[in-house]
Chain A
Amino acid sequence: MNRPLLELRKLSTLHLKPLSLSLYRGEISALRGSSGAGKSLLLRSICDLIEHQGELFLNDVSHLKMAAHQWRRSVGMLAAESHWWHETIGEHFSDPAGISEPLLQLGLSSAILDQGVTHCSTGERQRLALIRLLQNEPQVLLLDEPTSGLDQTSALKVEEMIKSYVEQHQAAAIWISHDPEQCRRVATHQLMMDNGLVSEDIL
């Protein structure tokens, strides 16, 4: 029997109405909705970064049965704005030499690893943050506008990388986007969020 990879049971917060949702392997759910509808809040609750009611399951294992950091290692989140804590980009990767291929796929050169964080553009950092997250090999990706600062060509490369990751790793993703075209291109399911309430979206 096909069981969901990620299951939300009555997940709710102060600003989030109770939501039950199942995400299966290989699925990407696009999540649209106006600013302030609670999309990022939803991803942060699924990542267990903020207090919430209800229970989350990964492969039928409750998040409460897992240490929080293990949960987040499997259910990884890419924030809308990337943040860095070391001087150079390369220091943020456990195996900087091993990521030349994904760098190339996203149109970045390996030389960027020696660059100072402050010398990279927002768009470069955003793509690097995606690679940083995928290096963890999470089973569920929570993506908060992963292409918001990118030009069309780069955005398409990012879409390609995420889609093939989900396919190869039999992972799943929730993808916040404001672009209906993008939602149609990448997602298997469409969700709409309004005022803390999630519903199926008919594009």
Chain B
Amino acid sequence: MILLTPLDLTIAALLVLLLALVSWRSGAAVERKLLWSAVRTTLQLLLIGWILKLLFDQSNPLWIALMATIMLLIAGREVMSRQQRSFSGIWGYGMGTVAMFVSSFGVALIALQFIIRPEPWYMPQYAIPLLGMLLGNTMNGISLGLDRLTSSAWEQRHQLEAKLMLGFTARDAMSPLRRDAIRVGMIPMINAMAAAGVVSLPGMMTGQILAGAPPMEAVKYQILIMFLITVGTGFGTLVATTAGTSRLFDDRERLRLDRLKKKVN
């Protein structure tokens, strides 16, 4: 493995500066944003590197659990903020967070206990990156699925009520919308699996290879991760859209769009 020196990163940073200069000269007006983002990525990644180093050195299950919880809560906030119409009150935050907790933590636990089997099973070098990748991807699926569910229920509110007037159950009335939401949530992951290795070299695998791992070992890990992410995203989207569907109706199967709030921006 070739270790990077601060000088190596400085060279890369100079290239970013050069891009900013060119962008400024050409009037694209993105140079401030570009530089600020470059600074942010440096600081954020250095910070997380430092935290991970601490975690790896300690390997204390309590600290790992705390880290996992913080990651979950941040992802839950992200899911809510990506909704055009999210559920009001605790449901807006809770639904996505619980769905991610069930799917990501569930899948991570299975992978650590029965597949990767590090010693101890919560070994942070495995647990944290695994959970991070699972959360990042289930977050995408769940937010896409929920967003589609609530926005299509809003757009098709008249059709939904027409169905109810004809004696459809809430479940039957919603089922095409829910199917569509599940599909939207799962499609990115299915596409990523189909394109992996042909159109794109997955980032994790590339990283392992750059770090000196034998390509076949990196590939095996990548396949495992892809499967885990797909399962996590799929089940997470199912949980979220099921909860969302039932929250859209009350116990008398009335469409309750008043339980949604529109995003103000």
Measuring CB to CB, which residues of chain A are less than 8 angstroms from any residue of chain B? 47-51, 67-70, 72-74, 76-79, 81-85, 132-133, 136
Contact = CB atoms under 8 A, between A and B. Distances in A.
Contacts of A51: 250, 254
A31 B253 CA distance: 27
A79 B158 CA distance: 10
B165 A69 contact: no
Contacts of B253: 67-69
B164 A72 contact: yes
Interface residues of B, number: 19
Nearest to B158: A83
B169 A69 contact: yes
3 smallest beta-carbon distances between A and B, as pairs: A73-B167, A83-B162, A68-B253
Contact of A50 (B168, B170, B254): B254
A77 B168 CA distance: 12
A173 B156 CA distance: 28
Contacts of B167: 69-70, 72-74, 76, 136
A85 B166 contact: no
Contacts of B169: 67, 69
A79 B165 CA distance: 8
A49 B162 contact: no
Contacts of B254: 48-51, 68
Contacts, number: 57
A79 to B, nearest CB: 6
Nearest to B252: A68
**Chain A residues touching B, majority SS:** loop
A180 to B, nearest CB: 27
Interface string B164-200: 1111111000001000000000000000000000000
Identify the interface centre among A72, A78, A82, A136: most chain B CB within 10 Å of its CB: A72
B163 to A, nearest CB: 7
Interface in B143-161: 156, 158-159, 161
Contacts of A82: 162
B258 to A, nearest CB: 10
A79 B164 contact: no
A136 to B, nearest CB: 6
A165 to B, nearest CB: 16
A79 B166 contact: no
Contacts of A49: 161, 164-165, 254-255
30 contacts: A48-B252, A48-B254, A49-B161, A49-B164, A49-B254, A51-B250, A51-B254, A68-B170, A68-B252, A69-B167, A69-B168, A70-B167, A73-B167, A76-B165, A76-B166, A76-B167, A77-B165, A79-B162, A79-B165, A81-B158, A82-B162, A84-B159, A84-B162, A85-B156, A85-B159, A85-B176, A133-B165, A133-B166, A136-B166, A136-B167
A85 B162 contact: yes
A18 to B, nearest CB: 19
Contacts of A133: 165-166
Nearest to A49: B254
Contacts of B252: 48, 68
B175 to A, nearest CB: 11
Contact of A79 (B156, B161, B170): B161
B189 to A, nearest CB: 28
